[in-house]
Amino acid sequence: MIKIRRTILALVIGLLALSIAAGVRSQTPHVDVITVKGTINPVLVDYVKRGIETAEDDGAQALIVKLDTPGGLDTAMRDIVQQIVNARVPVVVYVSPSGARAASAGVFITIAAHVAVMAPNTAIGAAHPVALSGDGEAQMSSTMEEKVINDAAAYIRSLAEAHGRNMEWAENAVRESVSATEREALELNVIDMIAPDLPTLVAQLDGRQVTLLNNLVVTLETSGAVINDIPMKTIENFLYAIADPNIAYLLLSVATLGIMVEIFNPGLIFPGVVGAISLLLAFYSLGMLPVNYAGILLIVLAIGLFIGELLTTTFGVFTAGGVVALVIGSLILFQGASPLFRVDPWLIAGVTIIIAGAMTFVIQRAISAHRRQARTGREELIGKTATVKVALDPEGTVFLKGERWTAISDDGTIKPGEEVTIKSIDGLVLHVTRKP
């Protein structure tokens, strides 16, 4: 009985201790941090959304977005900006670490932040729209170009005005692709402060007033705040990794090879499974990217031609057409998108060589099979060796594969026990000659 009381008492004390610890943690100010590195795409949109919701739910003083990006998709950028603007917690965009940049879409995200900060030796700018321009050098129509630029300029001016930042510089970043270092950006009132690292930034944020949506003013209390990192989940990391033009193209290529191997060697299963999974992942990846549907159709046509070659054996006609369709489709797969979304030409060359090599092997196998004379039934006996049982003078009997055959010698008398070679078949009679 005493032991039970002691156990209950220990449990009560433990629960009280946990409760006190939880209360202390809840009273300790903290800031949440997410890291956005790489091109801006829909996967990052979901990550930023999760970061903001977490910061709102756990009572963080602010959400710090560590940003390093060369740009990305306009639609994804606008989704992130909307989340920042509508956040119920102050969002601090911190261009870091040293050497990082906030280019193109990154400029809009930084300007939209409640507090914009840069680390030493970083840069911001060059937000001129580059999508919709084919290969990055060909120009869109003048009317369309003017509409796109005017829309982007108005959007960034609105964001800058909302936070009292330099609207003229923001507009020039869109219209003239101007850029600035962290010092220049601070002097031009593009950002609010410079901080060498996160602890310094958290200390500098203390006491700063931030205006949220609906003119709600919040005073940041970050003195001694704990920094809580919110990393990407494993699935988010994986999806972000495959939402890359080169990875998408590689997955599509693996799918093509896997399906072709399965068709050429039915029953292997593994290549077919790998090909099917790669194809589904490729579809997901391409769905995240600004693809040219003409390029996708050409690649699908190439796959169809390769499969047609395996099923019908056109001795290279379908393969030649498939290689041409594959190369052209690969080159225009992301035509009309930003130069950030391009497939490496060396990857295209490597994939084309591998697939062409595989198809050449298949064609050679098919040609060899067609060149071999078909031999079935009795014709298969021609060239085989038999043993004489009854002397051939010239007619006698030979033994072949457990059977006795009537044979006629075309090479004189042949004694029993000697071996002969079958030269031809006349009905049920073998014509043979003495084996050399």
pLDDT in tens, the chain (436 residues): 555 555 665 565 655 544 444 444 445 789 999 999 999 999 999 999 999 999 999 999 999 999 999 988 889 999 999 999 999 999 999 999 999 999 999 999 999 999 999 999 999 998 887 653 333 344 456 777 788 889 999 999 999 999 999 999 999 999 998 999 999 999 999 999 999 999 999 999 999 999 888 888 899 998 889 999 999 999 999 999 888 888 888 888 888 888 877 877 777 788 888 888 988 998 888 888 888 888 888 888 888 888 777 777 666 788 888 888 888 888 888 776 667 777 888 888 888 888 888 777 777 776 665 555 545 556 677 788 888 888 888 888 988 877 888 889 888 888 888 888 888 888 788 888 888 7
**Can you give the residue ranges of every domain in the chain?**
26-233, 244-371, 377-434
Tokens at residue 321, please?
Answer: 């057409």
Residue written as token pair 């602010």? 62
Task: Please enumerate in sequence order all residues whose Cβ is within 8 A of that of 153, keeping only pairs 6 or more positions apart, or say none.
Answer: 171, 174, 175
- Using CA atoms, how far residue 77 sits from 43, 44, 314, 365, 422, in Å, is 11, 9, 49, 52, 81
CA 411 from centre of chain? 72
Q: Are 428 and 403 in contact (CB under 8 A)?
A: no
Q: How far apart are CA 207 and CA 218, in angstroms?
A: 9
Helix axes 142-162, 105-112, angle to 10 degrees: 20
So what's the pLDDT on residue 292?
81
Question: Do residues 431 and 406 lie in contact, with contact meaning Cβ atoms separated by under 8 Å?
Answer: no
Q: How far apart are CA 359 and CA 319, in angstroms?
A: 7
**Which single residue is written with the structure tokens 């003078």?**
393
Rg (the chain; Cα; Å): 37
CB-neighbour burial class of residue 141 (10 A; exposed 0-12, middle 13-18, buried 19+): exposed
CA distance 335 to 331: 8
Indicate which residues carry an active-site annotation: 104, 147
- For residue 92 the two structure tokens come to 């601090």
Pairing of strands 403-409, 385-390: unpaired
Do β-strands 395-400 and 403-409 pair in parallel, antiparallel, or remain unpaired?
Answer: antiparallel
Instruction: For residues 209 and 90, give the distance between their C-alpha atoms in angstroms, rounded to a whole number.
Output: 10
Whether 377-434 and 26-233 are alike in CATH topology: the answer is no
pLDDT at 295: 83
CB 85 within 8 A of CB 108: no
Q: Report yes or no: 34 and 230 within 8 Å, Cβ to Cβ.
A: yes
Say what the pLDDT of residue 56 is: 92
Torsion over CA of 421, 425, 429 and 430, rounded to 10 degrees?
Answer: 0
Q: In angstroms, rounded to a whole number, what is the distance separating the alpha carbons of residues 234 and 228? A: 18
Q: Which of 192, 194, 149 is nearest to 172 (CA)?
A: 149
Fold adopted by 26-233: 2-enoyl-CoA Hydratase; Chain A, domain 1 (3.90.226)
**Burial profile 144-169: b = 16 or more Cβ within 10 angstroms, e = fewer:** eeeebeeebbebbbebbeebebbbeb
How many residues comprise the chain?
436
The CA distances from residue 130 to 134, 197, 287, 331, in Å, are 9, 32, 20, 18
What is the fold, at CATH topology level, of the domain defined by 377-434? OB fold (Dihydrolipoamide Acetyltransferase, E2P) (2.40.50)
Cβ 262 vs Cβ 272: under 8 Å:
yes
Q: Which of 127, 123, 49 is nearest to 88 (CA)?
A: 49
Q: What is the pLDDT of residue 139?
A: 47
